[in-house]
A and B are shown apart, each in its own frame.
Chain A
Amino acid sequence: MAAVWIIAVSCLIGICCAWIGSILVIRRMAMLSDAVSHSVLPGIVAAYLLIEEMDYGIFIIAAAVTAFISTMLIEGVSKLANYRKDVSMGIIYTLLFSIGIILLSAHQDSVPIQSDHIIQGNLEMIPLEELWIINDVYSLGPYPIWSSLLNLVVVVITFALAYRGIKLISFDHSYASVKGVKTSRWNLIFMALTSLTVVISFSEIGAILVIGFIVIPPATALIFSKKLSHVLLYSSLISCASCIGGYFLARHFDSSVAGSICVVMGILFFIVFCFDNLRAKFAQKNGVRIEHKE
């Protein structure tokens, strides 16, 4: 049963990250998710210090609020100092993460966060986590499975309803705004969705590997897909396959699940990457134009 829970949660998170990541990768904003995932730490620690009785809901809210503040800070520093986005990201996330670590070391006894888990993820702990029990009898499984499922539902519904809008804005921003699409409102919604996904993933797979879940499967799918819908589909499949593969790899080496999943994602990426490069070379040799088949 433990294996099922772990694989289920990682697949749910994997699909969410893959969908959000597809758009982030296409719009070259992937590193933003990295910055956000690092920045939420001080918010969470502060919440533990301020609120006596923490539960999972407050945890997520605190993280989400911090995520929002950090994106605003990145934006603000970029504008004020005239920095490129990546510079202000580097400054802000390291600062916020440092504050988090300092708070954590100052209150080690009162905050039940282990700094290792922030880095390495927490997937193997899922089966040991508190269960959601109704009427003291029915167990609905651990909380993370429900939060990641909820996240997935929100992401899928948004994409299903607004697929054309997302496609239009991501492909041709100026054309969309000439058409009268309220691009800033759409961007805001998308940023909110990103923050939510990053926050929920952060608590399970660790601050750093979020970027892997967000970038690698979409980047792999983008190499051979010719439609956005295909990118979404294939990146989800790649993600799930890596989650299953990663779990067993981790079991075999007795190592971190989240880390192993990332490694499997990386292996899949390199297989596709090398295959595509070889095919391009081969096609060139034969004087054929590169056709992307599915």
Chain B
Amino acid sequence: MRDFIEFISLSNPTVKIVLIGVVLISLSSSLVGNFAFLRKRAMLGDAISHSVFPGVCLSFIVSGEKDPLMILIYSIVTGLIAMFLIDVIGRHKKVKVETAIGIVLSIFFGLGIMLISYIQGNLGDAQSGLQHFFFGQAAAMSREDVQVFLYCSIIIAGTIILFYKGLKQVSFDREHAIATGQPVVLLEIVLSILTVMAIAIGINAVGVILMAALLITPASTARLWTNRLFPMMVIAAILSVVSAIGGAFISYKYSGMPTGPWVVVLLSIMAFGSILFSPKRGALSRVIARKRLERKILKENILKTLFKLQEADKEQTSGFSLQEINCLKAFDGRALERGLKWLQQEKSTQIKNNKWTLTASGNQIGKRITRVHRLWELYLTNKVKLDIDHVHPSAESLEHIITPEIERMLQEELNFPDKDPHNKLIP
């Protein structure tokens, strides 16, 4: 804990530079990543980040040193060329876009590999330090580097704010954006430049291979929590900042631990957490919802059965035994007892001398389910024109998901009927 406070207070100037650098990088790539994800361009970002590598090498060969601005310019140019080539190749009838991405990625990276091995062999490996761009080397960031990152982040964030509305439309519905007269081509070019820019600074921290994670993972995780763009961008930004700080801290605390891969691992942990636990789309919440639905179905079935028993037998007032209930509708033995107990706790049923009866509130639910069941049967026979002997199974299942609104629609559509197709009263 003391380490962390020391770390986060930025008292150490080296730590300060690294931390600010990594946070800026993560933030700007998560911003553009949202649009890449929504525009279904996840793999394009991956390809571009591999493709900027020869640009990095080229800048070194030309200028003979590692100048952050030169590296940035060269990698942006190479990245844009790669993007352009993917577009051109992907338009050919017999080359699909996915293939074009693979082709450009490997050619450019192959070229990068050639250049770096050439540099290692001929220009002296020691001072180049270019292999840092494979996995990133956050610890080696300099003040000048971070300055460049800062300018880029400001440009990225500023442009996104400026074009927010247009970018949103283009990402959600390109056709509609064209129809409403948005300058779609311009916006797409802007987005491409921003993406390449984010990648070009990002490879300093995580390297060309893991860059895809900084783009895709925060956006796809945030998507699990919200359906709207602005909250999604905020969540993605928070996730990436948290993992950037975490990654930098781990690398600060344990010497030899790389920052970039840890940022990615932390991001992925949050992604998996969200996949399992996010309230709307998480796997666990879906399981819980399913269980809850099953429980609701069981309870409603019991109430309905009791209601029908009461309906059939007017004189019976002392209630019904488990056997009698089971006679009308077959329940799994233990499920029936369990369900009755839940209902008792909710004060929907009561028991006297081993005989069950409905309370007023239970009666109401039982009545509603029976009503919905019979309405649905009538709807299927009258409107969908099914045979009478075919309607029961469907009603038996769907009675549980017919909402009060749909019930009202049924009533209106069927003109507030009082008898179902089997000539039973609709309660």
Contact = CB atoms under 8 A, between A and B. Distances in A.
Indicate whether A and B interact.
yes
Interface of A: 25, 28, 30-31, 34, 38, 77, 80-84, 86-87, 89-91, 93-95, 97-99, 101-102, 105-106, 108, 115-116, 119-121, 206-209, 211-216, 219, 222-223, 249-250, 253-256, 258-263, 265-266, 269, 273, 276-277
Nearest to B136: A101
A102 B250 CA distance: 11
Given A215-B102, A263-B114, 11 more contacts: A25-B96, A90-B42, A97-B210, A102-B262, A209-B113, A212-B105, A212-B109, A214-B102, A250-B114, A258-B110, A259-B114
A273 to B, nearest CB: 7
Contact of B99 (A25, A256, A258): A25
A259 B268 contact: no
A262 B224 contact: no
Given A77-B275, A208-B50, A219 B95 contact: yes
A83 B221 CA distance: 10
B102 A120 contact: no
Contacts of A28: 96, 98-99
Contact of B42 (A86, A119, A253, A254): A86
Given A263-B111, A273-B89, A102 B106 contact: no
A137 B305 CA distance: 86
A256 B213 contact: no
B385 interface: no
Interface string B64-78: 000000000000000
B212 interface: yes
B203 interface: no
A87 B43 CA distance: 7
A219 B96 CA distance: 9
B110 A212 contact: yes
Contacts of B109: 208-209, 212, 259, 262
Nearest to A276: B92
B242 interface: no
A255 B209 contact: no
A161 to B, nearest CB: 27
Nearest to B98: A28
Interface stretch (B12-20, B115-123, B361-369): B115-123
Contacts of A250: 114
A222 B134 CA distance: 32
B258 interface: yes
Nearest to B40: A84
